[in-house]
């Protein structure tokens, strides 16, 4: 039996806790700060509402005896886990402590993370994982791999049930990158790197020379790979992004997203009448439309610099969260290609899983033609968008701003992919293809036989444009519900979303569909 009276035991407890709170010690904390990073516990304190955090398995310790580990202390086994509130709503969290064995993930470390994840699952609360780790704890060998695999398994159990957000605030190497990849959103700081194999291994295997930053820095993992959804300047910024993101999301798949109470103006927005240039070939920035449709112009763009020909993100209309998917005419004319298809499809599926209505803004000339696109699998990548929209049962409202050509019109949530409302601006061109291309095919013989071929081409192009490059044929065929003045769009969309809140759509029971991959 331990010696000492009550007061002595309390003093001992305090001393033990004080030591735990210092993680790997003051020297390592200083090193963490010097590298521009916060400690695991500082990050927790910043993300959670004051005094709301309850830590779990505080005294957990590793039980490894290999490679001199016996007797070595690993406070909280290098990861802080627990539950608390963010802006008044509960979340579960794990925050790796780089000051303890480089935040490396051993058996107990991983079991703690899985416990917190199961807390999320049981209580229907989001899970946040702050990664700062050298990966699997080398001394623990296969036990750390087994631990990581349990985390991955739990990631999949949670997927589609509660939102999962990963913050990458330090190294994230090897298989460790796969836990974030299995979550819904990744926020990476500019101090962090993420890769499957680092520069040294790459040099050995392929001979390529690359720096860690070039390979796995936040910009690279956003711009080239599309792995990352948000880039943060530092830890504080990453936590701010995480809180803002949570504000748009429900806590679980059985809840609706939070409805922000307040007065929302539903007035005409005359500036929208000026967005589309008179010349149909002129580009414009679709964000100028989005920010005029969402409440207070508050739009949280996701994957801002990946596949910029499509814009995705969250906003609110009359207080309700909407997921916006918009072709971006400013980049490659808003064409749909492999990366933009992947980007859109994944976002649509996230919104559908968490009861977030979809607002689609259409201005696209179609799918990008080309050998590299075909060899890269544009058929199966593009099909993901079709699949995701058709499978989505949340309210779907589409607005055709300008070009809605060909398969891309269908793919961008046209009426027949289940759009509940389709509105079109007077500038909308709903057609199989652009007027120039169509005239060349339909009137090929007439153009060839004409004395003045150029004049004939112009005349037939004009004829096709006047017939199909308007929204009115689509309106006559019930493909468009209404042609509206751009300035009225926010009002129409808000009314549509309001009236669709009780939407129910039952599909035949099945294990799961097979989205093209
Ligand atoms: C045990 C580790 C560790 C690890 C770092 N440390 N990584 N201990 N297991 N994986 C320890 C270091 O020994 C050191 O301890 C402390 O953490 C800080 O590390 P430093 O190297 O001093 O820091 P830094 O220079 O910032 O470099 C950080 C790093 C580097 C880039 C993460 O440590 C590194 O490359 N580590 C190994 C990465 C790796 O190969 N991980 C295994 C991946 S395989 P002291 O006591 O000196 O402070 C994997 C498979 C998972 O993850 C598969 C799941 C299916």
280 backbone dihedrals φ, ψ, rounded to 5° = -65, -10
Residue 516 DSSP label: -
| CA dihedral sign of residues 140, 186, 38, 17 | negative
Ligand 1 center–CA 418 separation, angstroms:
50
- Separation CA 367–CA 332 (nearest Å): 11
For domain 10-248, the CATH class is: alpha beta
Confidence of residue 63 (pLDDT cuts 50, 70, 90): confident
For atom 3 of ligand 1, the residue with the nearest CA is 134
Left if phi > 0, otherwise alpha if psi is -120 to 50, otherwise beta: which for 24? alpha
- The stretch 96-107 carries a mean pLDDT of 95
> Which comes out higher in pLDDT, residue 129 or 446?
129
Q: What digits encode the pLDDT tens for the residues 177-217?
A: 999 999 999 999 999 999 988 899 899 999 999 999 999 99
Q: Which pLDDT value is given to residue 65? A: 84
Q: What digits encode the pLDDT tens for the residues 5-18?
A: 999 999 999 999 99
User: Which atom of ligand 1 has the smallest separation from the CA of 103?
Assistant: 17
| Residues taking part in catalysis | 174-175, 407-408
Helix (H) or strand (E) holding 207: none
For atom 41 of ligand 1, the residue with the nearest CA is 135
For atom 21 of ligand 1, the residue with the nearest CA is 102
- The stretch 431-456 carries a mean pLDDT of 87
- Separation CA 464–CA 467 (nearest Å): 5
Mutation probe of ligand 1 site: the residue of 78, 103, 134 with most atoms within 8 A of C-beta: 134
pTM of the model: 0.94
Q: Which pLDDT value is given to residue 1? A: 55
> Which comes out higher in pLDDT, residue 431 or 2?
431
Q: Which pLDDT value is given to residue 2? A: 61
Domain boundaries, the chain: 10-248, 270-432+470-499, 435-468
Ligand 1 center–CA 198 separation, angstroms:
12
The ligand 1 site (C-beta within 6 Å) comprises 101-102, 104, 134-139, 145, 148-149, 171, 173-176
Q: How far is CA 369 from CA 224, 225, 365, 501, in A?
A: 21, 21, 11, 38
User: Which atom of ligand 1 has the smallest separation from the CA of 135?
Assistant: 52
Mutation probe of ligand 1 site: the residue of 102, 103, 168, 213 with most atoms within 8 A of C-beta: 102
Confidence of residue 176 (pLDDT cuts 50, 70, 90): confident
SS in 3 state form for 113-129?
HHHHHHHHHHHCCCEEE
- The stretch 247-275 carries a mean pLDDT of 94
Give the percent of the chain with pLDDT over 70.
99
Domains 10-248 and 270-432+470-499 are alike in CATH topology: yes
Per CATH, is 270-432+470-499 categorized as 3.90.226.10? yes
**Low-confidence winner among 70-74, 165-169, 212-216 (lowest mean pLDDT):** 70-74
> Which comes out higher in pLDDT, residue 490 or 196?
490
- Residue pair 118/150 in contact (Cβ under 8 Å)? The answer is no
Ligand 1 center–CA 137 separation, angstroms:
7
| Residue 9, both tokens | 């035991």
Ligand 1 center–CA 385 separation, angstroms:
39
For atom 53 of ligand 1, the residue with the nearest CA is 175
Ligand 1 center–CA 81 separation, angstroms:
20
Residue 50 DSSP label: T
- Separation CA 210–CA 293 (nearest Å): 43
In this structure, the number of other CB atoms found within 10 A of the CB of residue 180 comes to 24
> Which comes out higher in pLDDT, residue 465 or 116?
116
């Amino acid at each position: 039996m331990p010696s000492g009276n009550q007061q002595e035991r309390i003093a001992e407890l305090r001393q033990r806790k004080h030591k735990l709170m210092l993680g790997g010690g003051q020297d390592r904390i200083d090193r963490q700060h010097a590298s521009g990073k916060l400690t695991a516990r500082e990050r927790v304190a910043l993300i959670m509402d004051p005094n709301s955090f309850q830590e779990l398995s505080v005294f957990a310790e590793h039980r490894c005896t290999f490679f001199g580990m016996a007797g070595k202390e690993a406070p909280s086994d290098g990861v802080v886990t627990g539950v608390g509130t963010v802006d008044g709503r509960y979340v579960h969290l794990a925050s790796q402590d780089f000051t303890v064995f480089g935040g490396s993930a051993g058996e107990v470390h991983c079991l703690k993370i899985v416990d917190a994840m199961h807390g999320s699952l049981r209580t229907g609360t989001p899970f946040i994982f702050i990664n700062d780790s050298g990966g699997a704890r080398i001394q623990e060998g296969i036990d750390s791999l087994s631990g990581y695999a349990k985390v991955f398994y739990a990631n999949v159990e949670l997927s589609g049930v509660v939102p999962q957000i990963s913050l990458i605030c330090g190294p994230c190497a090897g298989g460790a990158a796969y836990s974030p990849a299995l979550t819904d959103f990744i926020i990476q700081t500019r101090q962090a790197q993420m890769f499957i194999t680092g520069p040294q291994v790459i040099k050995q295997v392929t001979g390529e020379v690359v720096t860690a930053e070039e390979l796995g820095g936040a910009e690279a993992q956003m711009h080239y790979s599309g792995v990352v959804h948000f880039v943060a300047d530092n830890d504080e910024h990453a936590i701010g992004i995480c809180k803002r993101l949570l504000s748009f999301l429900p806590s679980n798949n059985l809840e609706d997203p939070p409805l922000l109470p307040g007065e929302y103006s539903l007035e005409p927005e005359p500036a929208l009448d000026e967005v589309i240039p008179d010349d149909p070939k002129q580009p414009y920035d679709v964000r100028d439309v989005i920010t005029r449709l969402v409440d207070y112009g508050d739009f949280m763009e996701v994957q801002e610099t990946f596949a910029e020909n499509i814009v995705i993100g969250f906003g609110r209309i009359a207080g309700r969260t909407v997921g916006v998917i918009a072709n971006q005419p400013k980049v490659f004319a808003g064409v749909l290609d492999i990366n933009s298809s992947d980007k859109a499809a994944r976002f649509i599926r996230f919104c559908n899983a968490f009861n977030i209505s979809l607002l689609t803004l259409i201005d696209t000339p179609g799918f990008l033609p080309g050998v590299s696109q075909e060899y890269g699998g544009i058929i199966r990548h593009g099909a993901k968008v079709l699949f995701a929209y058709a499978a989505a049962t949340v309210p779907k409202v589409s607005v055709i701003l300008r070009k809605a050509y060909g398969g891309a019109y269908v793919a961008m949530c046209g009426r027949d992919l289940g759009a509940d409302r389709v509105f079109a601006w007077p500038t909308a061109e709903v057609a199989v293809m652009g007027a120039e291309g169509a005239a060349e095919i339909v009137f090929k013989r007439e153009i060839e036989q004409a004395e003045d071929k150029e004049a004939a081409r112009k005349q037939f192009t004009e004829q096709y444009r006047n017939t199909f490059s308007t929204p009115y044929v689509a309106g006559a065929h019930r493909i468009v519900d209404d042609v509206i003045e751009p300035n009225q769009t926010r009002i129409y969309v808000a009314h549509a979303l309001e009236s669709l809140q009780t939407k129910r759509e039952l599909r035949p029971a099945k294990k799961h569909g097979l989205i093209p991959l």
